[in-house]
Structure 1
Amino acid sequence: MSVLARFAAATDAIGPAVELSTPLLLIIAALGIALLLLLIIKFRIHAFIALLVVSIVVAIATRIPLGDIFTLVGQGVGSTMTKVALIIALGAILGRLIELSGGVQSLADHFTDLLGPKRVAIALTIVAFLVAIPVFFEVGVIVLVPIIYAFSKVNGFHPIKFGLPMVGIMLTVHVVMPPHPGIVAGAGIFGADIGLVTLVALPICIVLGFLCYWIASIMNRREYALSPSVAAQIAELGQGSTVITTTDKNGNVMAPPRAGLIIALVAIPIVQILVGTVGSLMIEEGTFAHGLFVFIGTPVFALLVAVAIAYFTLAVRRGWGKDRTNEAFETAMPPIASILLVVAGGGIFGQVLQSSGIGGALAEALDGLGVPLILLGFVVSLVLRAAQGSATVAIVTTGGLLSAAVLGGDFSALQIALITVAVGFGSLGLSHVTDAGFWVVTRYLGLTVADGLRTWTVLTTLLGLAGFALTWLVWGITAGIGA
């Protein structure tokens, strides 16, 4: 059975009223992507609205009956959000509890004491890696900035010396490690197992942590101008102060939680997912033990366990009170609302591409080109990332474009996870002026735009390329074992 036939059998009954030729479908797809980029880049329209508008335009252009278009919209939202909404929400709550408790400061103090004053940059890079798993990138940068400034003042260094490897590894983790929204959405669109994605991404990110530190240390050999605003903020810090305080509802200062507790809270969902995934692969399906491992390794349950433990250890036992605890939960939600809408928009776009026949046409075209799908996913994601800036939009758009080829291809569960991770690494590279994260990094590290392009843009691109190379290496090894 051809790729197109396998894909057509897997799609819903809704489709175009008139069958269009493959070249025309590909032209419509290209024009749709061009319109999407135009709306986001030129007119500064929110990615969700842009994705929704383009999806409707593409549906009309491919002759999908008007009465069916918003049925497809609902299907796209439902199929995507069912897989990702709870994971993203629980991940945001866990990150918020750690952030408000002062756990980041505990990690910084712990690893600095452990490794010694001469290895502060290494210690802070480890802290950034751990913080990045449950905390969104921009939030993590803002939380870590006071620590970067404090150590920079004590040591008399430009904040880029400590900050560059920290933000580099944080973004790396953000684009390929669940529960972050882009990679979770990509896994949902491709039908990838979150546990296998984690199993692949985690060791690669650890390797990239060493690479990130090494590249940043080379970049930090030259001197960079420090913006007056950041210089003033650093100068105002108390001599040697590295403490971020949190208070209870009565204004009393609370000691931050121990570093071991924060490490455990970060590790619990990861270990639980990995144990469940590996166990389910080793045990015969249909048995009680298999079902138990599947249950244990379900990302929603793993994150729920971590949130429950964090609730009792960071809130109840430390006397936050109901008001402060509820505030922590509620304030975790607004930052993810926009992200969830973008993910929903990507689901709509992918559903329209599938039902219109564009996905199948792309799958056939890719078969003819003979380009490995894992390479194509990386390149498409990288180009979209460079064009419009958002890593999440790049991943969900790439997922929509290539989902037919993935669903219709004869790929194993591990290979689908590797394709998903490759798309994630594509969204890591070429962070520049179109990316909000670029401005966050340059602003807080006190860099000029030119220095940001020389450092941050180069670093993210090298990390993206290295991450993809390692992913492709795993692809080749597993293919060789399978043969």
Structure 2
Amino acid sequence: MTASWLAQAAPVTASGPRLVGAAVVGVAVLVVLITWVKLHPFLGLTVGSLTVAGIAGLPAGTAVESFAKGFGSTAGSVGTLIALGAMFGKLLADSGGADQIVDTIIGRSSPRSLPWAMALVGSLIGLPMFFEIGLVLLLPVILLVARRSGRSLMAVGAPALAGLSVMHGFVPPHPGPLVAIDALDANLGITLGLGLGIAVPAVAIAGPMFARYAARWVSSPPPDLFTGGPGPAGGSNSGSTAVEQRTVTRPRFGVTVATVLLPVVLMMGKALAEIFLTDGMLLRTVLDFLGTPLIALLIAVGTALFTFGRGAGMGARAIMASVERSLPPIAGILLIVAAGGGFKQTLIDTKIGDLIAAFVVDSGLSVLLLGWLIAVFIRLATGSATVATVTAAGILVPLMTGVEPAQVSLLVLAIGAGSLFFSHVNDAGFWMVKEYFGMTIGETIRTWSVMETVISVVGLVLTMMLGLVL
């Protein structure tokens, strides 16, 4: 992606220095409130948005209306998808379907292929689940596999973490990619296809390949957090693994994997139909409808009620209880995402994004690199991949005028890559990995932080390479 694509960017209609000051102060306020004051990101984004509007000269009433418009639009378009994704992931966990995936893949793996199997497990579990939930779910499996296989904790743990993290940063229906797709008006099917294409080599490099070195840097045995029961390394499907068993039986492996992949297949079908089928054809109309994110996830949840719920012997009350328990944990994420939409709308209405677009046109700087750098800065400052993604996407909205759909999707992925850069002490995920893996801060930085950086850089390189040919 080059500056020549930005020729149609809207002209700047306000004082340049004042807009620059508004942007700098607004982002600084956001960073200070989240990192130093320890304010919830929802409040930080709200205050930061109003700060930007005030300094840029937007009337108070207009500033509030602008934020509310972006908040409501994002909550309506993205919030429903996040809620459906949470329901799907909770059903997968409570039914034992996640355990079935883990046990089947690990049980059929040789010692040599074990790291690759763990990467596959992390990726499959990471498709429908948020990173933190997936980590808690997989943690006992990682520790038990390491203990019973005699392999280093990082040799089997790093690949699983890489799979979870890559899916979180690159592949919808995770909040970050969904927000960027919505903000930049990217084609979800194209973004999903390109994201999966980048995810495979990113997981391989940052997972099993990087794990060889991480295992040398941290060779301590796994902490004794979980004991007893037949483990997945021995090929048993009957023991307790990642979560407490709530049902008598588990859904079958093939049915479970098919259900997990169902929304991905539906959304990819829509993307392929737009490429190969003529507009107005009945088949394309059907695929367009089924592949719409809301419909695809709604179908997936409806299917999961039977394949995960009934298929595991859960009664109607148990199924509904599982669905209800999925929503409270994501309330904070929904507020952050919606506030990010309000921040984005403020940047649009104050014309700050137009100023940035004009700067990029004059400088010749790659938009992909710019998106990655902005996301990296916010990620390092706030520790939140989601905040980094929604902020960077909001800043870069005006640059998308007249840009090809594939290039917009690549910008989404470049921002996603930047949002994963060097997780450190201001990131909750950093402390989860440190404590669960029983590592020191230095060991966590040498392994987890470096692995996240590898994912980020590999994602940027692959995205820019695709940008040269698409």
| TM class by smaller structure | over 0.9
> C-alpha displacement at 1:322, in angstroms?
2.3
Question: 1:306 aligns to what?
Answer: 300
* Deviation of 1:4 (Å): 9.0
Which among 371, 374, 377 is matched to residue 377 of structure 1?
A: 371
**Uncovered stretches (5+) of structure 1, i.e. residues with no partner:** 10-18, 479-483
Confirm or deny that 1:243 pairs with 2:240: yes
Cα distance in 2 for residues equivalent to 1:304 and 1:422: 28
Q: Could you tell me how far apart the structure 1 residues matched to 2:313 and 2:354 are?
A: 56
Residue aligned with 2:172, SS: coil
Does residue 50 (structure 1) correspond to residue 37 (structure 2)? The answer is: no
When the two chains are superposed, the root-mean-square deviation of aligned CA atoms in Å is: 2.1
User: CA contact under 8 A between 2:180 and 2:393: conserved in structure 1?
Assistant: yes
Q: Distance in 2 between matches of 1:110 and 1:261?
A: 13
Q: Is the deviation greater in 177-186 or in 78-87?
A: 78-87
Counterpart among 252, 259, 268 of residue 258 in structure 1: 252
Alpha-carbon separation, structure 2, partners of 1:161 and 1:255? 31
Identity level (%)? 32
Alignment pair present for 1:7 and 2:10? yes
Map of 1:219 onto structure 2? 214
Aligned twin of 1:164: 158
CA distance in 2, matches of 1:392, 1:437: 12
Alignment of 1:110-259 (within 5 A): 110-211=104-205, 212-225=207-220, 231-234=223-226, 236-238=227-229, 240=231, 242-244=239-241, 253-259=247-253
Separation in structure 1 between the aligned mates of residue 29 and residue 292 of structure 2, nearest angstrom:
38
1:286 Cα deviation from its structure 2 partner: 4.1
- 1:467 partnered with 2:470: no
**Shift in CA distance, 284/232, structure 1 to aligned 2, threshold 3 Å:** closer
Q: Secondary structure at the match of 1:221?
A: helix
Residue of structure 1 equivalent to 2:66: 72
| Counterparts in 2 of 1:155 and 1:114: CA distance versus 1, 3 Å | closer
Structure 1 CA distance for aligned equivalents of residues 63 and 203 of structure 2? 45
1:299 positional shift: 1.4
Which of 332, 337, 342 lines up with 1:338 in the alignment?
Answer: 332
Question: Aligned partners of 1:239 and 1:129: how far apart in 2?
Answer: 24
Confirm or deny: 8 A CA contact 1:152 1:162 kept in the other structure: yes
Residue 400 of structure 1 is aligned with which of 394, 407, 415? 394
2:235 — aligned with what?
none
Q: How far, CA to CA, are the matches of 1:400 and 1:23 in structure 2?
A: 20
Q: 1:155 to 1:111 in 2, by over 3 A?
A: same
The answer to whether 1:367 aligns with 2:361 is: yes
Q: Secondary structure at the match of 1:44?
A: coil
Contact (CA 8 Å) 2:153, 2:219: kept in 1 or not? no
**Residue aligning to 2:417:** 425
Kindly indicate whether the alpha-carbon contact (under 8 Å) linking 1:76 and 1:351 is maintained by their aligned counterparts in 2. yes
After the TM superposition, which residues 343-354 of structure 1 pair with which residues of structure 2 at under 5 Å, given as runs? 343-354=337-348
Which deviates more from structure 2 when the two are superposed, residues 42-51 or residues 117-126? 117-126
User: How many aligned positions are there?
Assistant: 459
CA distance in 1, matches of 2:115, 2:348: 47
Q: CA deviation at 1:152?
A: 2.0
Which residue, out of 394, 413, 418, partners 2:405? 413
Deviations, residues 151-176 of structure 1 (Å, cap 9, x unaligned):
12212344322111111221111111
Distance across 2 between alignment mates of 1:108 and 1:290: 36
CA shift, 1:256, in A, is 2.0
1:461 deviation in Å? 0.5
Q: Does structure 1 conserve the Cα–Cα contact (< 8 Å) formed by 2:259 and 2:307?
A: no
Give secondary structure in 1 for the equivalent of 2:362. helix
AA of the residue aligned to 1:167: L
Give 2:23's match in structure 1, choosing from 13, 24, 29: 29
- Structure 1 residue matching 2:38: 3-state secondary structure: coil
Which of 276, 279, 290 is matched with 2:284 structurally? Answer: 290
2: CA distance, partners of 1:74 / 1:86: 17
Query: With structure 2 as the length reference, what TM-score do the two structures score?
Result: 0.93
